[in-house]
Structures are given as C-alpha cells and as structure tokens.
C-alpha cells in the first residue's frame, strides 16, 4: 500500500523561489574583477536567473543541453547556477586551472553548446577555440563597458543578453531525477570523468548540509564559500544558503589572498567559511603576521584534503573558531562525513578532542559507509583495521557521464568504491589513511602518509609537507618527507625526524627529508603526489 502524500518533485528552481519569497532582502555580496564589492538581494538574483532562463530559451537551448561556466565565485555565477539548472539545462562548471588539453577534453566530452566565461578566462578559451568547434557561442559575464577585444566567435555580453529578457519565467515542472549539473574530477589518473548531478540529489544534499552536525547553517548566518563554484558545486553552499536564507559572501578572484579574505570575513560579518586546507594556511599565516584575530567567524568547514591537527588547534586557540573537518568527493556531491563531537564524548580532554577532530568525521544520514579488505569482506569498526572505503546513498553517483560502467568504480552490490583507504572507530568516526594510489608499503606493512604529514605540520618550521613512498632496496618502499619551510624559520632534517619520536611508530618515521621551495598542486589545491613521486623516483637514500 502506498502512502497518501504529495509527490512534489525536489527541484533546484524551488530553492530559488523559496529564497526569493521568504528571504527576498537577504544579501549576496561579491568581489568581482570590475567591482571590489558588488551587493544585491536574493530577490534580484532570482529575478536575473529567470531572465537568464528566458535568454537561454531565446538562444535555442533544449532540455538537457550542457551549458558551461568558466568563472570565479560571484553573483553572476550564482545566477547561472539557478538559471541554467532551474530551466532544465545542465550547468557544467569548468575548473579554469585545468591544463588546456583537459579543458578541450571536457568541453568536447560534455558537448557544451555555450560557454559562459569571466573576462579573465577569455585568453584561455581563445587558445583552445579551434579545438572546441561544437561550442556555438561564448557569453562573457560582464557589461558592455568591460567587454574585452577577442578573437572568439559568436561572443555575447552577459548583461546585454539579460537586459533583453523578462524577469517573469515559469520554471518547468521537471522530473526530479533530471540532470542538473556536471562536474569533472580533476583526472589525476587518466582522462577526467564527469559526475552528473540531478535535482533530487542536489536538494537532498542541501537538506543534509544545513543540519546542525554538518554545516549548521541558518538564516542568521553569513557564509563565505572559499571553495570554488567550479569544484563540486562549492560543496552545495549555493543551494544550502538560499534554502535557509543565509547571507552569501563570495571572494571572486581573491580566493588565495589571506589579507583579502580576512578583510571580507570581518567587514561582512561572516560566521561560517568553507574551503580546502591550503586556503586556510594562507589566511592563518596572514593573521599571524598582521596580528589579526578572526573575531566574528564562528565555524569553518575544511575538507578536500586531510586537515592538520595543528590547523584545527590554531583556529580554536588563536581565534575561538570551531574548525570542522569534512570528507567527501566530487562523486558524492561531495558530503560524506563531517567531524563534530558526539553526545557522550564531552568528557574527552582538550588533547583527546583534538585527536578526534583530526579524523575525517562521522557519518551523515544519507551516506552509508563500509570498509572492506581485498576479498571484499567487511572489516570491523575498531579504529584499527583499514580497508577500501565504499559508500552508498542518494547523492552519490551511480556511474560517470557516458562511461556506462567502464570506470569499474562500483561494486556488484551497488556501492561506490571511493579509492580511499580508511579506518572507522567504534563511535563511527572515519579516518582516511591514504588514497589507494598514495599508500606507502614498507616491508609489507602500510604506512599512512596522511598521518605523517599531519604530525609534522605541528612543527613551527614547516609551512607545508608531503610524504611519499620511494623505492628502497631493503624495504621495497620507505617514506620520504618533502618540506617547504615556513618563512623566516629553520630546522634541520635531523630535528624534523626527531620531532616524530613518540608521536608515531618508530618504523613509520620517514627515512629522509628533502627541502623544496614549493610543492606541486592540483587544480583544486591538493598536493600532486604523482608529480612528487616522479620528481623523486631516482632518489638516493642518505644512509
């Protein structure tokens, strides 16, 4: 027997209309290339999204067409999020930091019909224009006054496109399983793979994101996503904010600028900020050197890479900010786990609480987890056993776009294999040991590079660190610590290795240390271990 409840579809357009109806005066503040502080309201944003939807119809877009964006975090990009997806097209967010060959690959693979681009990415597109012949036109997200000279064909000005259209638009009554957005993984191995989100997964994910033990977002918050709109839908923040009516503050091209971020956080009364560890390193370093305290910020959600314990501690002790670690993936919309204290654990000492906070986090309702061994057998949640981490849930991909199972990413019983190796403790807190491909195997035993990196980040002379496995005649592989020194600080290799004593098992301690000027990063700000391993593949061990 079926229940007797309405089958109202979960649609992205309904989030936009809810935001405009209930929180119409709430502000969206952006830094853009041509305006240091643009501000307007939800009402204006949603009206312009409807204008954009009309413009796309005028251009001849059909339901399901892919329309790409190549843009920073600002208000026009939010309008594209709602205007494109809400009207039934697929918003394909492109990471401008990808290599040109990758850009060509994903634009062609996605079969993008139009590309909406910030002015500063026009040269990027010009350089690849002859390799993306199926793109019918380019919309430059600016006004007539700031339109650049360009060799691109069929160029339109975003503001002019909108100005010709009505702000009345009837959002289509879509099937909630209709595709809404497309985001490619950064493709550290092989070609990038497309993750195709739908309306239902997006709305359910936003519901989960706002809950107290996840992002804890309400209408009284002011939220700054430093995570880019081109990286897993900025972790769902554009949807979550309009769902609850939180103020949305966006840094535009100022993502990695500690000083600019600090100023934005303060002047826009930001209570919640989200981003990968690298951006917070820049912010914390700036605060330290300029003697600033983040007085208004209450919480940060940090994920995308392991969060050093020392970073969580610095946020807490120097700024009174709760830093919540999270773990997820492009394939997971991205939220999988977030780290907050469970009832019953309040009695843990300060130090124990920090140890716990350094784990990835505990399960969110909507994302089931399990760890399995090589035979596919489930491993116990004892905090010791580590195995392949698999997940399942309504906002986790069931396949990649146009790959039809070829990626081999899913198990026969329908779980997604994350490619991460993890432990889960009896309280349900999961900790990532490594990515499968970064695992270091020494004398037949695994060593966690993440734990070694985390530990050394607490040393004051270390600005950034990575640990990789390098071939070793006796142990197959041994860990090599690669360090970028903090400005004005010094430490010898011996001193750094000594720092590990008593903190990790003796045989885990890296065999050598190499100092470098900087580490190679991926387009999403993670250390490129593949490149590092390549760089040190012929490394000669000192002893």
Q: Which residues bind ligand ADP (CB under 6 A)?
A: 185-186, 232, 303-307, 325, 327, 329-330, 360, 418-420, 432, 435, 450, 524, 526
Tokens 């903190």 -> residue: 503
Q: Which of 185, 433, 511, 522 is catalytic?
A: 185
Pairing status of strand 272-275 against strand 299-302: parallel
> Rounded CA gap, 424 and 379, in Å?
9
Q: Which of 342, 441, 498, 537 is catalytic?
A: 441
446 is catalytic: yes
| Least CB distance to ligand ADP at residue 345 (A) | 19
Locate all alpha helices (DSSP H) within 136-276, ordered by sequence: 158-163, 199-210, 237-244, 258-267
Closest CA to 199 of 95, 81, 116, 93: 81
| Least CB distance to ligand ADP at residue 20 (A) | 31
> Rounded CA gap, 410 and 390, in Å?
9
Q: How many CB atoms lie within 10 A of CB 322?
A: 18
Q: Which of 331, 451, 453, 464 is catalytic?
A: 331
For residue 76, report the phi and psi dihedrals to the nearest 5 degrees: -65, -35
Cβ-based nearer residue to ligand ADP, 249 or 450? 450
Q: Which of 150, 411, 446, 528 is catalytic?
A: 446
Pairing status of strand 90-93 against strand 66-70: parallel
| Least CB distance to ligand ADP at residue 208 (A) | 16
292 is catalytic: no
331 is catalytic: yes
| Least CB distance to ligand ADP at residue 185 (A) | 4
> How many residues are there in the chain?
543
Question: CB of 38 within 8 A of CB of 30?
Answer: yes
| Least CB distance to ligand ADP at residue 474 (A) | 29
Question: Encoding tokens for residue 55?
Answer: 């413009």
Question: CB of 106 within 8 A of CB of 98?
Answer: yes
Cβ-based nearer residue to ligand ADP, 358 or 513? 358
Identify the DSSP state of 375. T
Cβ-based nearer residue to ligand ADP, 442 or 524? 524
Cβ-based nearer residue to ligand ADP, 201 or 330? 330
185 is catalytic: yes
Cβ-based nearer residue to ligand ADP, 30 or 186? 186
> Rounded CA gap, 360 and 356, in Å?
9
Hey, which residues are catalytic here?
A: 185, 331, 441, 446
């Amino acid at each position: 027997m079926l229940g007797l409840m309405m089958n109202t579809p979960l649609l992205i357009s309904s989030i936009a209309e809810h935001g405009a109806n209930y929180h119409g005066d709430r502000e969206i503040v952006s830094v853009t290339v041509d305006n240091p502080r643009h501000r307007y309201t939800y009402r204006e944003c949603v009206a312009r999204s409807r204008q954009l939807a009309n413009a796309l119809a005028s251009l001849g877009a059909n339901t399901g067409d892919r329309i790409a964006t190549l843009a920073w975090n600002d208000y026009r990009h939010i309008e594209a999020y709602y205007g494109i997806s809400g009207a039934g097209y697929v918003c394909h967010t492109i990471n401008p930091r990808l290599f040109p060959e990758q850009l060509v690959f994903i634009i062609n693979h996605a079969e993008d019909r139009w590309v909406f681009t910030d002015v500063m990415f026009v040269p990027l597109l010009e350089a690849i224009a002859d390799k993306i012949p199926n793109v019918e036109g380019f919309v430059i997200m600016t006004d007539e006054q700031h339109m650049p000279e360009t060799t691109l064909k069929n160029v339109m000005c975003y503001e002019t496109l909108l100005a010709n259209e009505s702000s009345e638009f009837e959002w289509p009554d879509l099937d909630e399983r209709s595709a809404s957005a497309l985001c490619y993984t950064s493709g550290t191995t092989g070609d990038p793979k497309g993750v195709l989100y739908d309306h239902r997964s997006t709305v359910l994910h936003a519901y989960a994101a706002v809950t107290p033990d996840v992002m804890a977002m309400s209408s009284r918050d002011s939220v700054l996503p430093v995570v880019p709109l081109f990286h897993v839908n900025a972790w769902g923040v554009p949807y979550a904010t309009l769902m609850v009516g939180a103020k949305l503050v966006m840094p535009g091209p100022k993502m990695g600028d500690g000083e600019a971020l600090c100023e934005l956080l303060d002047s826009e009364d930001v209570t919640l900020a989200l981003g990968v560890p690298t951006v917070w390193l820049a912010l914390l370093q700036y605060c330290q050197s300029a003697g600033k305290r983040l007085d208004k910020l209450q919480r940060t959600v940090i994920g995308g890479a392991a969060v050093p314990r020392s970073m969580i501690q610095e946020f807490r002790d120097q700024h009174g900010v709760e830093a919540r670690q999270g773990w997820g993936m492009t394939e997971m919309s991205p939220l999988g786990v977030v780290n907050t204290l469970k009832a019953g654990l309040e009695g843990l000492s300060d130090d124990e609480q920090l140890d716990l906070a350094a784990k990835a986090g505990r399960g969110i309702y909507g994302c089931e987890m399990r760890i399995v061994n090589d035979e596919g057998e489930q491993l116990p949640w004892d905090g010791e056993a580590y195995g392949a981490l698999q997940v399942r849930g309504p906002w986790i991909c069931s396949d990649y776009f146009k790959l039809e199972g070829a990626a081999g990413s899913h198990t026969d019983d329908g779980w997604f294999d994350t490619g991460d190796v993890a432990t889960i403790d009896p309280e349900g807190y999961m900790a990532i040991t490594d990515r499968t491909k970064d695992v270091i195997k020494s004398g037949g035993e695994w060593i966690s590079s993440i734990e070694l990196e985390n530990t050394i980040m607490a040393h004051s002379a270390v600005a950034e660190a990575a640990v990789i496995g390098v071939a070793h005649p006796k142990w197959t592989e041994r860990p090599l610590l690669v360090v970028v020194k903090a400005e004005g600080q010094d430490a010898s290799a011996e001193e750094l290795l000594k720092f590990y004593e008593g903190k990790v098992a003796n045989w885990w301690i890296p065999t050598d240390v190499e100092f470098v000027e900087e580490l190679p990063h991926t387009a999403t700000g993670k250390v490129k271990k593949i490149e590092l391993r390549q760089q040190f593949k012929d490394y000669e061990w000192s002893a």
